[in-house]
Each structure stands twice: as C-alpha cells, then as structure tokens.
Structure 1
Amino acid sequence: MTRTPNPRELSARSADGSRLHIEVYGSEGAPAIVLIHGWTCSTLFWAAQIDALSADHRVIVYDQRGHGRSPAVGRGGYTTDALADDLEAVLGATLAPGEKAVLAGHSMGGMTLMAASARPVFREHAAAALLCSTGSSKLVAESRVVPMRPGRVRTRLTRLILGARAPLGPVTPVSKRILRYGTMGPGTAPDRVAACARIVHACPRAVRVAWSHVLGELDLDAGVGELRVPTAVVAGTTDRLTPPVLARRLAERLPDCVGITELTGMGHMTPVEAPEAVTAVIRGLADGHLTTERAADNATEESAV
C-alpha cells in the first residue's frame, strides 16, 4: 500500500476538546473528497484511494478519535454523537463555508455519516455520500463471525469476540489468518491481508474495546432517513462483520440511494480488498455531483453579472 507523499497535516478540535489528526492530499481548490475510516483502522486504510483520487481531487482523511494519530479520550468520549462532532470539526477545518464534498465512510466511518446526517454542518457540505461495508443497527445479531445459525447463542458469542480485551500482539502468520477469516474474503491477496493486519494491530486495545461496546448497541436507523444526499452503498458478498443484508436494508431506507454494489468474494475491508472498485464508486459520485454543483454555481455567478 503506497501513499502520495507530503500531505498537508492539520489538527482540529472536536466539541469536547478532543484533538483530531487530519491529512490533505492534492491541489488546493480541487473538488473535495472526505474519506472516513472504520473501527481499528486509520488514515493508512485509504492509501489506494488517496493515490488514485488525489491527482485531480483534494482528498481529506482523518484519524477517528483514539485511532492513528488522534489521541484516545476518556471513557465517556466514545459515542456516535462524538463521531458526528468529530466529522463536523474536520469539515469546518478543511472546507470553505458552503463548499461541497463527497463524503465516503467505511464501516464505522459510514456510521459517522449516519450519525451526522441531520446536522446543519453536514448538510452544508455534503454533495453525495458513500456507505461502504457498514450498517445502521443489529450489527451483532447479523454478524457471521461465529459460524452458527442465528440466535441468542451466536449473538452472545459474537459480542464476546468483538469486545475481547486480549491484546492483539504482533502481526504473525496466525494472526493474519484470523484477521482474514473475520474481515476479508478468502481469496484476498497476502500483501493486502498483511497491510490490514498492520493497521488493525496498531489500534490501542482500550480504544478497540471502547468502540466495540458502541457498535454492539448501535441504532442509527433514524440517521439513514436523514441522509438526504445522493448516496451509494457498497458491500462485500462474504463480509462476516457487516453482511450484505445490512447494506440492502440501507439501500431500501435511504431517501436517495443511487445504487448498491455487491463485490463478489470480498469481505469487510473492501477499500483494501477491491481498491479499484471502491475508488470507481467514489469517483463516480464526485464526477456526477461535485462537477454538477460547481457548474451550477458558475452559472449562477454569470447570470448575476
């Protein structure tokens, strides 16, 4: 996984004072794309998308609180409201007033979009959105990490696994096999498995556990209905963490769903497993909605002269 060199690094302060690490790639003034990573990941997760999109877009990425270079917070600081607060802070720090961007969230990043969807700052800046490998509720009940038929026993075991307090330790052949089973498709290339393992294992244990409790009780169904911008949905057909049934529910409930893409054989880490396909969806949203809005703004300015 390569990375376009020399990002512009920024910091933002969230509503509770938490500091967020931000990186901006590409030319100032180019159409903006904001990429939001998921649970146990970091800005490194979007390396392929940054490389592909920053040639002609301004790509903004940030570390969710407690991940990457954004410091951990107190016990009460891990909530879906905090996710929305953090996104607001990042948009305020990187976009001009009224400037539109495509917002793409993977897993907990998609949940961030749903949590923020009704907020004025979100509506000021969102031109279109991508919900990638995510869901709005019933994550534990629908998870297929435990190979059993659905029911209370599977749900209980899944909750224990996702919230396990054991340290992940160093990346080893065994840990990579476990990670691939839980989060990636069976045919994922070894180098992509290794890249994801390095990112996930770098997440602090306390942060991983704190967010697991939030995800275990997640209910953002109301936020789906408030996500009123054109929104695409992407899912991997072999995703055990957020199975395709969750993506289909999102597509049915979204006010303006512009399509659902199910990537055959891919698991939960779709932007790393199938980078070209995910990048193509993001680029399609940018071409279809950022360009249109910029043209409309120009037309308005010309008619006013």
Structure 2
Amino acid sequence: MTLPYEAVAARRTHDVVSADGTRIHVEEFGRPDGPAVVLAHGWTCSILFWAPVVRLLSSDFRVIAYDQRGHGRSAAPATRRGYGTGVLADDLEAVLEAVVPEDERAVLVGHSMGGMTIMAASGRAAVSRRTAAVLLASTGSGRLLGATEVLPPRLLSRWLRRALHRQLLVSRLPLGPVTRLSRAAFAYGVLGQRPTREQAAFTARIVHACKARQRGAWGRVLSVLDLDAEIAALTAPTAVLVGTHDKLTPKVHARGMAQALPNCVGLTELPGLGHMTPIEDPAAVESVIRSLAAAHMVPPVAGDAADGAQGRTGDPHLEEKSA
C-alpha cells in the first residue's frame, strides 16, 4: 500500500541555472504529454512537500516541481545578495524557460513562500507568457509579522508578539533530530485543528531537513516582505486558497489578496485546516488546480509536447540527470 506521505519517484530530474549562477534542482512527474502544472514550495520545505498533490495529479498532468534555492537539492546562495524575492523570481523564470516551451502555458501553484515567488515574478514577460492560471495557497503579500498568530494574541502585547514572531522567523538554532516534542510543536504551529500523526511526522521531517542558516536567512526576507505592488500586477486568472486555522498566514491575507488581484477567480477557505494545506487536504488543492486547468488551459498535442521535450533537453542552461 502506498502512503500519501511517501516520496513520488520522478520521471525526469535535471538542474536549471538561475540568473546569478545558482543551481536549481527540478523534478518532473506524470504524463510527458500532459498539460503542465508547476509547483513552488514554501519556506523550509522541498519538492517532497508536494508528494500528496503530485500523486493525485500525475495521471493526467505533466507535473514540475523544484527546490527553492537553499532548500532540498538546490544550491544555497553564495552571498547575502542571493536571498530576496527578486532572486526567487529569477529562479522561477529560469525554471519556466527551461521546462515550458514559449508556445505553451502552465498552471503555476505556489504555497507560502512559493506563492510569494509567483507574485514577485508577476511582471516578468517570460513568466507571463507561460502562465495560464495561478493558485496562491496559504500565503500573503506583506505585513506577515503583524497578522501571524503562532503566539496567542490574547496573552501578549502586539509589540511583544511581533518581536517574538520575528525571532522565530530569523532563528538559526539547529532543530536536530525529529522528536515527539518537535512533532507536537509543528502540529500546533502550522497544522490545523485535528492533524493526524502522519501529517505531523511528515511536516517535521520536511522542516527539520532545511539547514539552519538558510532557514534564518529566508526568515529575514519574509519578516520584511512587501509584494503589494506585485500582486496588483498579477493579471493571470488567479485562485486563492487558505485554511481557516492558518496561524502563519491567516485568512486575512487570503481575503486581502482576493480583493487586490486584478483577475481573482475564486477564494477557497478550508474549515479547520492550518498552513500546510497541500499536506492536510491534498484533494482540495488538487480540485482547485484541475478547475483552473479546465477553465484556462488547452492541453498540448502529444506530438508537439514530444518535440518540445526534445528541444528542452538541448537547453544549454539545463543539466540532465538520470531519473
């Protein structure tokens, strides 16, 4: 029996070189001739985070997922300048140019920092040309510290809660091995009202794998996030999804983004769920992706997709690896 929280074997793996030379690890799943879905994970996560969703989409879609720089098997930035929303946009642009032919379009799905990546890239012509529709899941465009609810608002002043939330984001303390305590802490902080033991263990496994230095550096970026102008420029049909018990990016962010988006095509609030919606209810995330694809994509002809795949193999910025 295959469990939903086991890794999915990639059909193809390769590396893409971003604008500043950082190597970005990419994996492809599902049908090589299917319509493309590109998945961008959030802070402290990796491609593995998407396993439950990938498993549901692979029968009908060409699913592409990549490790954000400093996460998973992608390279870490060499300098402080390698951290920021601009370089996240560079990475997404490099991935799309490598895996989505210019005459095709994909559904882009971003969770948390992955959604922020898509917002940051909203003004890039190479990204816009390859975007059919967008799903922003459990994310926000700015002012994260002011709305975060990991620490109870009733027990602390707003100033102290903001300061402690910032410290949680920027901390470089090593997490060490997964323990019962860390599983419980993640279940409280990022999962919903009734997480399963498997969901808590899977979440802890993913987050513990992120190195402390990269975790803290990206936390600093998130602590000063301001993408309000970029979300206003995101003209592709965009759906927003959030768990009603999300403590990291509460539903106030989702509702604000739905109002700010020029072409919002739906707001989904999942009762009782937390920040890790693709882990907590992958079928709900899958359903929104399929709806976006049905409404806004034309599936590529099989022969054209095969020709495009052959052309991509010869991309000088792409390093092929055995799957």
Normalised by the length of structure 1, the TM-score is 0.94
Structure 1 residue aligned with 2:138: 133
Match for 1:160 among 167, 175, 184?
167
Does residue 82 (structure 1) correspond to residue 87 (structure 2)? The answer is yes
Q: Could you report, residue by residue, the CA deviation over 1:263-293 in whole angstroms, capped at 9, with x for unpaired residues?
A: 11100000001111111111111111113x7
**What is the deviation of 1:10?**
1.0
Does residue 192 (structure 1) correspond to residue 237 (structure 2)? The answer is no
Q: Distance in 2 between matches of 1:6 and 1:203?
A: 21
Structure 1 residue aligned with 2:319: none
Q: Could you report, residue by residue, the CA deviation over 1:45-82 in whole angstroms, capped at 9, with x for unpaired residues?
A: 00011111111110000000000000111222011000
Contact 2:104–2:300 (CA under 8 A) maintained in structure 1: no
Structure 2 residue aligned with 1:182: 189
Runs of at least 4 residues of structure 1 off by over 3 A?
Answer: none
Are residues 6 and 156 of structure 1, via their aligned partners in 2, closer, same or farther at CA, if it must alter by over 3 Å?
Answer: closer
More helix by share: 1
Secondary structure of residue in 2 paired with 1:20 = strand
Q: Distance in 1 between matches of 2:133 and 2:30?
A: 20
Structure 1 residue aligned with 2:311: none
Secondary structure of residue in 1 paired with 2:56 = helix
Secondary structure of residue in 2 paired with 1:165 = coil
Alignment of 1:93-108 (within 5 A): 93-108=98-113
Does residue 253 (structure 1) correspond to residue 257 (structure 2)? The answer is no
Does residue 31 (structure 1) correspond to residue 38 (structure 2)? The answer is no
Gaps of 5+ in 1: 299-305
Structure 2 residue aligned with 1:263: 270
**What is the deviation of 1:28?**
1.9
Contact 2:191–2:275 (CA under 8 A) maintained in structure 1: yes
Q: Distance in 2 between matches of 1:234 and 1:76?
A: 31
Contact 1:3–1:51 (CA under 8 A) maintained in structure 2: no
Secondary structure of residue in 1 paired with 2:266 = strand
Does residue 218 (structure 1) correspond to residue 225 (structure 2)? The answer is yes
Q: Kindly provide the amino acid, as one letter, of the partner of residue 67 in structure 1.
A: H
Contact 1:192–1:273 (CA under 8 A) maintained in structure 2: yes
**What is the deviation of 1:26?**
1.7
Secondary structure of residue in 2 paired with 1:21 = strand
Gaps of 5+ in 2: 305-323
Q: Distance in 2 between matches of 1:26 and 1:264?
A: 30
**What is the deviation of 1:294?**
6.0
Structure 2 residue aligned with 1:118: 123
Identity %: 52
Secondary structure of residue in 2 paired with 1:33 = strand
Higher relative contact order (CA 8 A, sep 6+): 2
Q: Kindly provide the amino acid, as one letter, of the partner of residue 261 in structure 2.
A: L
Normalised by the length of structure 2, the TM-score is 0.89
Structure 2 residue aligned with 1:203: 210
Q: How many residues align?
A: 295
Structure 2 residue aligned with 1:55: 59
Q: Distance in 1 between matches of 2:253 and 2:139?
A: 7
Q: Kindly provide the amino acid, as one letter, of the partner of residue 147 in structure 1.
A: P
Structure 1 residue aligned with 2:240: 233
Q: Which moved more, 1:231-240 or 1:158-167?
A: 158-167
Does residue 109 (structure 1) correspond to residue 114 (structure 2)? The answer is yes
Structure 2 residue aligned with 1:18: 22
Contact 2:10–2:28 (CA under 8 A) maintained in structure 1: no
**What is the deviation of 1:145?**
0.9
Contact 1:105–1:112 (CA under 8 A) maintained in structure 2: yes
Are residues 225 and 178 of structure 1, via their aligned partners in 2, closer, same or farther at CA, if it must alter by over 3 Å?
Answer: same
Structure 2 residue aligned with 1:65: 69
Q: Which moved more, 1:180-189 or 1:239-248?
A: 180-189
